[in-house]
């Protein structure tokens, strides 16, 4: 098998070593990828630093046209990219196609936001002491960006680092997960087709420890990280002077009140808890159901979960694919077994069928059980009954995480109460926490991170305000 090269500032390199990318489902080798060495990492970092001024001066139309080109080419290669996502990460092909389509939109939104950049004018003559002055305000890139992405969305989460960096004119080095590096390398191919300077992008499939050292490099002004809470906060602590965006973990809560459409709620929870085998930071994990409708909802959810197809991710009928590796299987299985041994009731699933784990629903859990208080990152949902709506909101907040939450109710006053009260980055009404529109502000509170993605907000996070004050202007 040929070695797939990595990308360093416009140059494809094979390196002196390589590593295998294997399917989580059957263990087959999907690709052999070149492993960057110390010199490759240095060359990528130096190129980004060297070209920062040139790239910052690129006209908006050049950046926007490049983003539009990538969006178009992603659409043309969508089937190929979806197959790659499914084979390297084990995501069911139906959901891999959704991810590929979302990446098309992510680059399109970035192009549109890029063209909207207009700046603003400030008048100072509102204060007599300041004279007749005007300020021209613009945003300028902070400098080179280091983007670190996880395995679970190997194309679209890379897009959420790469597209805004191109839009603002900041060179970017992408460190994809070594389990799923192929999506980032495809994006490098598409960027290489544009008129952007070669130093605009490097893609380095390196190990986490090497990425941690790279994050400390003073040549990077911005670090954008998506991954585990423990790693994210350690990166921030190691680089306290940098601007850092952290998109971290969660154990997302969903509230189902007695005035909700229970059929719809059950269908959406069955989707939101299991479509990615639970391997999403906004996957449904804690479901709080009003006591009067708990039995009816549980029955409907049990039926919906039972209809999910678990198996080969390349099969169009599959809803739930494998976990990423045996370590993830060990963790999920151990936490479920531990909860059941401590008194939790198994409503559905609870069986390990390597490399799969059956979609699992647990009732009668306690706040201290790992399946409820930690991020399981697997196909497990817990059910908890409550009496008053306020109790449910408090229960959602009783977590160190706060990424997104879902609320099912037909009462608009409860909707606004949830929006005001829930300590999360986003409240999704009459749908589950797993919803994300790529143009919306996205990020968490508490241990779930800081900063926001979503194209406009990511662009703001990669830039800073600069003002030009004109004196003695006849206003």
Catalytic residues: 247, 281
**Residue 42: burial class (beta carbons within 10 Å; 0-12, 13-18, 19+):** middle
Instruction: Single out the residue of 32, 38, 34, 39 nearest to residue 7, CA to CA.
Output: 34
| φ and ψ at residue 452, rounded to 5 degrees | -135, 145
Angle between helix 93-115 and helix 78-89 axes, rounded to 10 deg? 120
Instruction: List Cα–Cα distances, 424 to 30, 135, 270, 413, 442, in angstroms.
Output: 38, 36, 22, 18, 10
3-state secondary structure of 318: coil
DSSP state of 375: -
Count CA atoms closer than 13 A to 466's CA, side-chain side.
7
Token pair belonging to 243: 């601007």
Token pair belonging to 326: 């045996």
Query: CA–CA separation, 448 vs 443, rounded Å?
Result: 8
Name every residue whose Cβ is closer than 8 Å to that of residue 368 and which is 6 or more positions away in sequence.
none
Tokens 């494998």 locate to: 322
Annotate 95-110 with b (16+ C-beta within 10 A) or e (fewer). bbbbbbbbbbbbbbbb
Token pair belonging to 321: 């694919």
**CA-based torsion, 458, 465, 127, 125: positive or negative:** negative
Query: CA–CA separation, 429 vs 421, rounded Å?
Result: 14
Instruction: Single out the residue of 228, 209, 339 nearest to residue 279, CA to CA.
Output: 228
Instruction: Single out the residue of 34, 78, 80, 87 nearest to residue 324, CA to CA.
Output: 87
Query: CA–CA separation, 52 vs 70, rounded Å?
Result: 21
């Amino acid at each position: 098998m040929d070695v797939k090269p990595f990308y360093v500032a416009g140059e494809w390199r094979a390196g002196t070593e390589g590593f295998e990318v294997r399917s989580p489902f059957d263990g087959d080798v999907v690709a052999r990828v070149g492993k960057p060495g110390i010199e490759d990492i240095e060359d990528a970092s130096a190129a980004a630093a060297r070209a920062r001024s040139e790239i910052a001066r690129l006209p908006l139309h050049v950046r926007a046209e490049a983003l539009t080109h990538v969006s178009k080419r992603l659409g043309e290669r969508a089937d190929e990219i979806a197959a790659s996502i499914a084979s390297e990460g084990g995501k069911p092909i139906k959901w891999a196609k959704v991810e590929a389509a979302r990446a098309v939109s992510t680059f399109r939104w970035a192009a549109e936001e890029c063209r909207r950049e207009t700046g603003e004018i400030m008048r100072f003559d509102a204060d007599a002491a300041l004279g007749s002055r005007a300020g021209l305000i613009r945003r300028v890139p902070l400098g080179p960006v280091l983007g670190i992405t996880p395995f679970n969305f190997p194309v679209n989460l890379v897009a959420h680092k790469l597209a805004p960096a191109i839009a603002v004119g900041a060179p970017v080095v992408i460190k994809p997960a070594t389990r799923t590096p192929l999506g980032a390398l495809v994006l490098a191919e598409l960027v290489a087709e544009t008129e952007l300077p070669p130093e605009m992008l490097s893609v380095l499939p390196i190990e986490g420890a090497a990425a941690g050292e790279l994050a400390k490099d003073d040549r990077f002004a911005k670090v954008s990280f998506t991954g585990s809470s423990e790693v994210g906060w350690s990166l921030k602590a190691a680089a306290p002077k940098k601007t850092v965006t952290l998109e971290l973990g969660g154990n997302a809560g969903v509230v189902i009140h007695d005035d909700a459409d229970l059929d719809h709620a059950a269908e959406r929870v069955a989707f939101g808890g299991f479509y990615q085998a639970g391997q999403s930071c906004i996957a449904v994990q804690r479901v709080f159901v009003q006591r009067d409708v708990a039995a009816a909802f549980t029955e409907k959810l049990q039926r919906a979960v039972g209809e999910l197809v678990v198996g080969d991710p390349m099969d169009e009928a599959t809803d739930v694919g494998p976990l990423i590796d045996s370590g993830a299987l060990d963790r999920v299985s151990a936490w479920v077994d531990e909860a059941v041994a401590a008194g939790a009731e198994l409503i559905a699933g609870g069986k390990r069928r390597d490399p799969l784990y059956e979609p699992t629903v647990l009732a009668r859990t306690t706040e201290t059980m790992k399946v409820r208080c930690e991020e399981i990152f697997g196909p497990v949902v817990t059910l908890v009954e409550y009496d008053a709506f306020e109790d449910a909101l408090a229960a959602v907040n009783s977590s160190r995480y706060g990424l997104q939450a879902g609320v099912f109710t037909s009462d608009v006053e409860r909707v606004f109460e949830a929006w005001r009260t829930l300590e999360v980055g986003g409240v999704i009404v009459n749908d589950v926490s797993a919803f994300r529109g790529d143009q919306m502000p996205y990020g968490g509170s508490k241990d779930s991170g800081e900063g926001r993605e979503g194209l406009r907000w990511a662009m703001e996070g990669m830039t800073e305000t600069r003002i030009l004050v004109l004196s003695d202007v006849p206003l």
